[in-house]
Chains A and B, each alone.
Chain A
Amino acid sequence: MHCAREEFFTTNKKGENYELKAELNSEYRHTRKDAVKKVIANMTVGKDVSGLFPDVLKNMQTEDLELKKLVYLYLMNYAKSQPELVILAVNTFVKDSDDPNPLIRALSIRTMGCLRVDKIIDYLTEPLRKCLKDENPYVRKTAAICVAKLYELNPELTTEQDFVKELKELVSDINPMVVANAVIALQDIHELSDTKDIFIINQTILNKLLNALNECTEWGQIAILTALGDYKVASNKEAESLCERVLPRLQHANGSVVLAVVKVMMINMQYIQDKNTVRVLCRKMAPPLVTLLSSPPEVQYIALRNINLVLQRRPEVLSNEIRVFFCKYNDPPYVKMEKLEIMIRLCNDRNVDQLLSELKEYANEVDVDFVRKSVNAIGRCAIKIEEAAERCINVLLDLINTGVSYVVQEAIVVIKDIFRKYPHTYEGIIPTLCDNLEALDEPQARASLIWIIGEYAERIENADDLINNFLENFKDESTQRVLQTATNECDNADIRDRAYVYWRLLSTDPQAAKAVVLSEKPAVAGESNGLSSGLLESLLSQIGTLASVYHKPAETFIAGRKYGADNVQALAHDPTNEDEDASAPPPQIQEALRNNSNLDNLLDLDWDEPSASTPINEPSATSSSLGDLMSLDAGNAAPSPPPSSTLSPTQSLTDIMNLYNQPSASPSNTFAGMGNPMQPQPQQPVQPVAVSSSMNDLFDFNMSTTSTAHSGLQQSSPLSPSLISTTQPLSTSANSKPAKEDPFAGLF
């Protein structure tokens, strides 16, 4: 149904249209009806049949409902392009809206609203007013939606003529279907309105809605439940009774109804004091959520994303149901990935064995992404459950012994995280890891192993030999030479700055350097990928929306879709992000985390400065750990600027930004246009006194720039050949996965 190709068919198909015209004017009804069908057929394949408008219109006045509807279909399609001809149809519409048959009345009012022609508005108001008061509920419910249509065309008129008021009266209608449609229309108008004060639910309305809830159709229930989600309860008792009223709706086959109920319950359960009541409610939520997992994959996907949110607030809901999240081998990849996330969330000391054997099974599958994520999940189990760490390590060692390259590499990356979480506990396995050194070709895995070697250098006899393996890319192994190369020949501001910092540190006081680099590292967070409580709160109140699927607030993508500076800044100052969890990372970090979820929050991020942290991604575990490589500096004479960095999307520029104190750090697009955007940066003084964590990150920044620079190559990156030669050999494999949407890609 398309009206864009006017010119084409009118000329060469004139014959056909001419024939149709004759048939439309036939004296036999069935001939006319067949002709209208042919017209519609032409219309649906994109042919222009608008020339037949008057002839089709003649068939509008008929007793044949099917024919009438076909004519209406035609009208709706061409009304926009032939507004003056639509007026010809108005009389019939007005007459139909008075027809004794309620179906005809409803149909005429519905179609008139869909014509979307200004001229028709004047003719619409009177029939609409009558239909809103019609004795037949079917007509009233159709008229309710028509008010929303009218509002879109002409909001002032709709309000002036009291249609909105009449719509509000329909909320008290005796027929639940009418109530539901009135709610739908009011919500639609509320969204469109500038003032957003059209539809506010008070206690009286609440009761009416609850009464209608049980009797209306599933779609009406969704609308009413959505409206209930916006209601702020006045007391604990009210929250409790509200939850109990919506609870029976969980028994609906429609997943959207189930999610709408879950949303209302999640919002209101926080006001319920009685722990027992909460427990009972939680238990009732579980079965319908589990049932959603046997639906078609697209429903499963939405359900899983929302279950993930629910579990972050109330893990007890599904704590005994981990089995239902086990993957089927033919689940689509997007479902498998979400199931893995949830399994890790539900993992506890009782089910960890079961989960481990399941994950080990997955690690033998063929889908590379899924296998990697499964291996990663084993590591996350270890970090989450201390008692199981050893068993996890054993499983990982088994997997390393399979010799499958990507399994080995992923295993080493997670083992590094386990080492961080439980220092000096599992050193026994280091030789096994080192045996696989040759097999590593991915930067992240190499970096992880380097970190491990660095950390445990004292215990590894041939640590410097091993490290030498990684140094092929550097012309000389002396610290000074490396730092010199980095400072003089490298056009990349961040590598240079970082090198300066280390150089100065080493030249002033090697002990201080040692203290800085070998300092206590912040603990690895067990439960990674958790959303900040502020964000979680706002997402829980949006269960069953795109925001809850993407785990980012609607504001970031509804208007403008991409995070503009304004949006992000506004978000950073959003009070929800600043409650007790001051470290609330901006949503795109969650996004980044999700994309590269194998990384944990290894570093304390300094989120206190929202302006600086806006478009920035999480520091990667790998590169931060490379900071510790410098331990070799202190003891040995074999420092190595990192071979290359992981090109994971979660590179952080945070701390360097803090260091430079550029509060105006705005998203990349502002910089992207500049010819040589990093010009101003090298002039920035390097702050001599840096706390250890920011030192780590400085180095980390170093890393990330290699990668960002790399990914930014196409964007006129002024990289010196030397830097390219340093990064090239290692990043060949990484080339295929440049940093995702790195906001600073254009910067360097």
Chain B
Amino acid sequence: MINSLFVINRHGKIIVEKHWRGIISRQIVDVFNDESAKFMKLPPGTLERSDISSNQEAFFTKEDVPPVLESNKYWLLNVLRDDLTWLCPVEKEVDPMLVFEFIHRIIDVVTDYLGDVSEASIRENFVTVYQLLEEMMDYGYPLTTEPNALKEIIMPPTIINKVMTTVNAAAGVTPKFPQNMSNIPWRKAGVKYTQNEIYFDIVEEIDATVEANGNVVSCEAHGTVVANSRLSGMPDLSLSFINPRLIDDESFHPCVRIRKWESDRLLSFVPPDGHFKLMSYRVALSPYQAMPLQIKPQILPTKNGGKFDITVHPRSTDGKPIEAIVLSIPMSKSTTSVNATCNVGNYMYDPITKTVKWEISKLQQRERAPMLSGTFSSSDAQPDMGLTVDVDFKISMYSVSGIKVDSLRLFHEGYKPYKGVRSMTKAGKFHVRT
């Protein structure tokens, strides 16, 4: 049960306030700001909160503030996303996971409606936002959270809708109420397209931690199947994979019939209209499976600085080029300057975040291995070296897990839809230790 929700901007000011059962004073936001400031100033090595002067330097960032904070009367459940804090103070026992999942859902829906979630977009469309909050929760319990069902009740503030409203208003036509709630909550009735088409995007992200010598400490792939359905009527689809046994864990959009999956490994469903996430899954990759690229970082500290060089070796990707490679190398905090050269791509050193960013736009197999080498100087005699390189890349038309769509069949409707499947592999939390 959620009593209230506050959305707070980066300066700690309230931009949205919504109460579903009784009002909680806005002062709770000050309490929250104080508590999180207190936490951030907490010196490492202690768990105690006294002895903290107000002008002390912060040891932790906003991201480090625990999602559940205590105050005298409330538990402050908070989620930080893109500079906005979504805060639910609760007084009684509650399912914190439900609160977080619900906040995520609000963020998703608002993003879907407004294009992005920011202070500006919320302020500009506050009427829509308040309507959504009202519709998504009743008396502290989630009510309608399906984007499709919501769009039937609340119009997204698109330009066309605005124009339509004005035109209709001028013409004296009142907008129609949606008359029939569809039997399937995720799909509205009476959808019609002149061209019937459905697209699937299989996106896999590799989460991996790799040691400097190439040993894989942990790795897995997280995949999502996102669909864009533009099909008329009430189509019943059946999607099969070539190798579904690879999947270790999966979860589905509510439209998927789980029993069919359990028995036949078939995705059988009546799709929602428009964009939706059909399925997400996890595949544990073997530590011996070659990563799409191997990164070899070397850092040699010397007095007041050191040398580094990093090479990137492309590995098996079925001949697909690796694109948009970005290596972020966080240097130690005491670094004063960096000098480097690379044979491929561009590098940049940001003296504020002390990070070297090296970008390689495209890397083909059997090319000369890109290399970045250079020196850095530090104000510390022995700069700390426990650094981790963060790697980003993407490979189009490639799935690291090997999962592929086999066929898609359509029942209950007479037309033949146009079908499309794309796959892509990206780096998730891909880290290389030095």
A-to-B contact residues, CB < 8 Å: 1-3, 28-30, 33, 37, 40-41, 44, 63-66, 69-70, 72-73, 101-104, 110, 113-114, 116, 136, 138, 142, 145, 148-149, 152, 177, 181, 184, 188, 191, 214, 217-219, 222-223, 226, 248, 251-256, 259-260, 287-288, 290-291, 294, 296-299, 301-303, 323-324, 326, 328-330, 332-334, 358, 361, 364-369, 372, 406, 544-547, 549, 554, 558, 561, 595-596, 649, 735-740
Contact = CB atoms under 8 A, between A and B. Distances in A.
A222 B142 CA distance: 11
Interface string B279-309: 0101000000000000000000000000000
A735 B51 contact: yes
13 contacts: A3-B23, A33-B169, A64-B175, A191-B92, A251-B261, A297-B67, A298-B79, A333-B60, A358-B217, A546-B90, A546-B94, A595-B47, A649-B47
A326 B170 CA distance: 62
Contacts of B126: 40-41, 44
Q: Interface residues of A: mostly helix, strand, loop or mixed? A: helix
Nearest to B43: A736
Given A41-B126, A222-B95, A302 B217 contact: no
Interface in B1-26: 1, 16-19, 21-23, 26
A219 B94 contact: no
Contacts of A252: 251-252
Given A294-B222, A334-B67, 12 more contacts: A40-B127, A66-B131, A290-B249, A298-B78, A301-B66, A301-B67, A330-B390, A365-B386, A372-B45, A554-B93, A736-B48, A738-B50
Interface stretch (B176-184, B232-240, B313-321): B176-184
Contact of B23 (A2, A110, A323, A596): A2
Interface centre among B101, B174, B179 (most CB of A within 10 A): B101
B254 A332 contact: no
B166 interface: yes
Contacts of A145: 138-139, 141
Contacts of A595: 47
A219 B68 CA distance: 21
B426 interface: no
Given A66-B175, A368-B44, A328 B429 contact: yes
A387 B42 CA distance: 38
B101 A114 contact: no
Contact of B385 (A214, A329, A364, A649): A364
A65 B282 contact: no
A298 B67 contact: yes
B83 interface: no
Sort A-B residue pairs by CB-CB distance and give the 8 closest, nearest first. A287-B249, A298-B67, A368-B44, A30-B169, A364-B386, A253-B251, A219-B142, A737-B46
B79 A1 contact: no
Contact of B48 (A332, A546, A549, A737): A737
B258 interface: yes
Contact of A332 (B64, B98, B429): B64
B246 interface: no
Contacts of A72: 134
B46 A259 contact: no
Interface in B238-253: 248-252
Contacts of B46: 736-737
Given A66-B154, A294-B282, A545-B94, A299 B100 contact: yes
Contacts of A368: 44-45
B23 to A, nearest CB: 7
B130 interface: yes
Given A218-B254, A334-B66, A302 B47 contact: no
Given A30-B169, A69-B131, A291-B282, A324 B218 contact: yes
A302 B153 contact: no
A215 to B, nearest CB: 9
Contact of B68 (A214, A549, A737): A549
B166 A103 contact: no
Contact of B93 (A102, A223, A253, A547): A547
Contacts of B390: 330
Contact of A288 (B21, B220, B249): B249
A561 B73 contact: yes
B181 A138 contact: yes
B262 interface: yes
B64 A333 contact: yes
Contacts of B26: 2
Nearest to A102: B181
A101 B100 CA distance: 34
A333 B92 CA distance: 26
A184 B217 contact: no
A220 to B, nearest CB: 9
A366 B95 CA distance: 34
A256 B101 contact: yes
Contacts of A44: 16-17, 126, 130
A507 B206 CA distance: 70
B165 A30 contact: yes
A342 B267 CA distance: 35
Contacts of B370: none
Interface residues on B, range: 35 or more
A330 B174 CA distance: 53
Contacts of B50: 738
B200 interface: no
Interface in B390-434: 390, 428-429, 431, 433
Interface string B105-149: 000000000000000000000110011001000110110011000
Interface in B61-97: 63-64, 66-68, 72-73, 75, 78-79, 90, 92-97
Contacts of B134: 69, 72-73
B384 interface: yes
B131 A142 contact: no
Given A44-B17, A297-B67, A735-B51, A287 B282 contact: yes
B388 interface: yes
Contacts of A184: 141
A487 B43 CA distance: 36
Interface centre among B46, B175, B179 (most CB of A within 10 A): B46
A248 B97 contact: no
Contacts of A73: 130-131, 134
Nearest to B430: A328
Nearest to B215: A357
A298 B100 contact: yes
B218 A291 contact: no
A104 B176 CA distance: 12
Nearest to A222: B98
B185 interface: yes
Contact of A737 (B1, B45, B218): B45
B155 interface: yes
A287 B246 CA distance: 13
A287 B248 CA distance: 7
B289 to A, nearest CB: 14
A368 B384 CA distance: 13
Contacts of A740: 47-48
B35 interface: no
Nearest to B261: A251
Contacts of A367: 44
A745 to B, nearest CB: 11
A256 B95 contact: yes
A492 to B, nearest CB: 21
B192 interface: no
B138 A142 contact: yes
B104 interface: yes
A369 to B, nearest CB: 5
A170 to B, nearest CB: 15
B207 interface: yes
B378 interface: no
Contacts of B179: 101
A625 B100 CA distance: 44
Given A66-B175, A737-B45, A558 B93 contact: yes
B268 interface: no
